[in-house]
Structure 1
Amino acid sequence: MAQEPRIDVETRAQGIRSSLSDEQGEQIADAFGWQGVWFSAEQDGDADTRRPETTWELVADRPHQGVTAKGRAAVHLAEGHRTLTRPLILADGFGYGPSDLDALWGHFNTPYQDGKPGFLDQLRSMGIDVVLLGFNQRHTYLQANAAVAVTCVQRVLAERTGEAPLVVGGVSMGGMVTRYALARMEADGLDHQTDKYFSYDTPHLGAWIPLVLQQLAYLHEALQPPEGGEPGQAELIRSPAAQQLLWGWVDSADFSGPVTANPLRQEFLDDLRRVGWFPMRPYKLGLANGLGTGIGLDLGPGTPVFDLQSADLQLTARIQPDGGTLENVGTIKLGPPVWTSATSHVAAWDGAPGGTLDSWGRIADAMGLPIHERLRNSCFVPTVSAIALTRDPYQWQPDLYKDLRDLPKDETLLDAFCCDTANREHSAVSKPLIEWFLEQLAGW
């Protein structure tokens, strides 16, 4: 039987603030540099913002854990349309706080090729109405935001002219939210009238943020607590959405124990199984920002990324080692060790093929540290996760580097998928993915 992946803090950080002088605490906190919520990458793009024909305020059709989520939808009608006729719903992804629907438009409509319209404008020229779905709290429970997605689907059906079926999906977490929403509607006997479901670099089997960076976010927050009601550096990591999406998760800088034994993630997976795991009616499409060849990133397991050495301060953080027992991933010393962390039986996730996040690069920039270009990005959504490989998300992961070419049909829970031609930034708009997706919609 495989050993349980775990992390161990060898020198406790608990009470670190009281055990250090103010000067020492500030010295460590200042070394990190990055203020605000860590890992909350926002959408960017060069496309001009288009004013939607209408915007809907949405309220979840039911609460989850006492949370009645809210959201907004921006309706962009196709060329020549005066009413919703052939609707496609695109749900926003993982992040902290409210969705920015203008930024979502700008990101997905930035041309991926000179002389070619953006993706969303191409949809509109095909006679497809684009409904961008956002959430007031992207970081809340997936089930809560899925209830907003249910409301959005029902509003689209009520506003639609004619009987054209829907296309429903989302980017990143948005693909999970809409997956759950459609499956839940089927389980409840509600007709969603959706012909195609799509997920754009969605973590069907889980996402990954380096464990050591999660811990450093908590540590930074403990040393430099937020003021005036501002969210802390670890606010996104401790959020319900992060707990439900991340395969490996820690709850503090001090945490020692299994990194997969997360009650909120288990509860969400149980809920997903209860409603059918995937919606059954739609044809299911998946797009992955990572390679399907099994070739990952050039990140040597255990490589030091941050190695800050001064007369009285040492701060080291490493690329996730590949397995092993008590493999060091991070150290802080002010003379004697203040904090050290090690993992056991954790796979080399950072270098897996998949959609990437520039967490290492952003923190290095904030710390004012030089960093090799190849170390800036690490895997966020492994390709095997984005294509919904038929594996139990809780028993993962021997297949991170699996070659997915010529994959037998019963090895994925999707009906069709497309992998990118490089390991690109998570949610990146690329020609191979967009043109494949447009081909899938051509006959609709």
Structure 2
Amino acid sequence: MALVPRIDVSTSLREAAAEPTPEELADLVASLASDVLFATPLGSAAGRAPDVVWRLDGGEAAVYYADGRRDLRKPFLFADGFDYGPSDLPALFAHFNTPCEDGEPGFFDRLLAAGFDVVLIGFQERHTYLQHNAEVAIQAILRAVAEREGDEPLTVGGVSMGGIVTRYALAKLEHDRVDHQTATYLSYDSPHNGAWIPLILQQLAYFFENLSPAEPSQAALIRSPAARQLLWAWVPDSGYSGAVATASELRKEFLADLARIGDYPQLPRKLGVSNGRGDGVGRPLPAGEIAFDWQTLIAGATARFQPVRGTEQRIGGMHFGLTLRRSATTEVPALDGVPGGTLDSFGKVADTLKAKIDEEHRSSAFVPAVSAAALTFDPVKWNVDPNIDIGVLGIEHSHLDDIAFDTENNPHGAVSPVLVDWILDHLTR
């Protein structure tokens, strides 16, 4: 019988340990940072003010007319990605309009100059159910169709979660026989087959949940509906033992719901880009080795990079007062170092705990390239080599019609000249 990816946690009492005093506990709480660890905040820089804002049920859309125009003619709809709370569309515009080179116009400025009207789709709750936010995207798509002058088809997509939300929205419109008039679908480093947050870091977020001053807690972000639907492997708490690829009923239900409506939209050309490399070259993270080790008199945590499959492979442990927990995984691939868009989760968690970590070990894969490329493998079983050379594999092994990869494994959602040039070339042909 084939082994399934799982985690096992053992709990014991520490020898010669005592419960922390109120003073020790207060010191520990004060030492924990409140930064968001498992998302990619875009910063607070405000971009150009939109020409029009559409109020939508569950969100809004910021509309930027093409240069020299005051009406909607060639809509480029782009949905926001995963984080907690409401979208910040000015920050989203500023991020994607960051010039790739000094003195050069940014991505959105280039789109506007090429005659596209940029419509950014935002959500009141980025962390809620993907189907809920897909309804927001559907409202924006139908409004763009209704308000557009002429008959130029739409381009619809999004970054990260936004690419999955719009994928669902377009597929649902086709399933319901509604004409979305979309010629091109675009996903920007979207986790078509699932995203990855190291299991040991998920456990640490739960373990220290009651001590962290962060609001919302890091654990709240991990257990949010959107995270549970997007993550390939998920655990509900720090002491959970069991299967990880099917631990969340929400992910199983979402995958079944996607399959019910056709999985992908069939009418538009489907384009995708990955912030990771496509040649199988990942990051230099030694599988199974210690990423950081943090120890105090009353608490401690050890995190290892995910080992290569195997049985009961150690991934780390944690203790607080008398309680000691150790974790091991079975048949979980070593996803931390695979090619893909990265997140500096190891670095942020280490910084929160004030633990030492090598600079080159701070970031690990968040959206593996095989997921951003929508390769045709089982999104639950993950029966794929995540280090495969996708260029050699060929586009016929993807659900997308064309894909571009970055030259390095860059941060998830980063604006890359290689990707921007590729997108503009494909949209303006």
Taking structure 1 as the reference length, the TM-score comes to 0.91
The runs of 5 or more residues in structure 1 that have no matched partner are 14-18, 60-69
Change beyond 3 A, Cα 1:29–1:253: farther
Number of aligned positions between the proteins: 424
Instruction: Please state how far the C-alpha of 1:27 moved relative to its aligned partner.
Output: 7.4
The alpha carbon displacement at 1:263 in A equals 1.1
Partner of 2:294: 308
Measure, in 1, the Cα distance between the counterparts of 2:65 and 2:103.
23
1:4-23 deviations in whole A, cap 9, x for unaligned?
1111111169xxxxx94454
Is the aligned partner of 1:416 residue 2:410? Answer: no
Match of 1:67 in 2: none
SS state of the match for residue 325, structure 2? Answer: strand
Matched, 1:129 2:117: yes
Indicate the SS of the match to 2:208: helix
The secondary structure found in structure 2 opposite 1:197 is strand
Residues 38, 236 of structure 1: 8 Å contact kept: no
Change (3 A) 1:316 1:25: farther
- In 1, Cα distance between equivalents of 2:324 and 2:22: 14
- Structure 2 residue aligned with 1:188: 176
Structure 2 counterpart of 1:55:
53
Q: Which amino acid aligns with 2:189?
A: D
Q: Which amino acid aligns with 2:279?
A: T
Equivalence for 1:250:
235
Return the offset for 1:34: 2.5
Residue 154 (1) aligns with residue 142 (2): yes
1:231 corresponds to: 216
Structure 1 counterpart SS, 2:342: strand
Aligned-pair distance for 1:44? 3.6
- Find the counterpart in structure 1 of residue 81 from structure 2: 93
| 1:123/1:82 CA distance change after superposition, 3 Å | same
**1:368 lines up with 2:354 in the alignment:** yes
| Partner in structure 1 of residue 64 of structure 2 | 76
Tell me, which stretches of 5 or more residues in structure 2 are unaligned? Answer: none
| Cα deviation digits, residues 68-101 of structure 1 (max 9, x gap) | xx01100011101110010000000011111100
2: distance between equivalents of 1:218 and 1:278? 34
Q: How far did residue 40 of structure 1 move?
A: 3.1
Q: What is the Cα deviation at residue 346 of structure 1?
A: 0.8
- In 2, the alpha carbon distance for the partners of 1:310 and 1:32 equals 12
Q: Which of structure 1's runs of 4+ aligned residues deviate more than 6 A?
A: none
Deviations 1:342-389 (Å, cap 9, x if unpaired)? 111111011110000011111222222222111110100000100100
State the AA in 2 paired with 1:258. A
Instruction: Give the match for residue 348 of structure 1.
Output: 334
The separation in 2 between residues aligned to 1:217 and 1:79, in whole angstroms, is: 46
How far apart are the structure 2 equivalents of 1:140 and 1:268?
13
Aligned to 1:62: none
Q: Which deviations, in whole Å up to 9, do the C-alpha atoms of 1:40-59 show, x marking residues without a partner? A: 3311486x610100111101
Per-residue deviation at 1:314? 4.0
Change (3 A) 1:429 1:225: closer
Q: Which amino acid aligns with 1:34?
A: A
| Cα distance, 1:401 vs structure 2 | 0.4
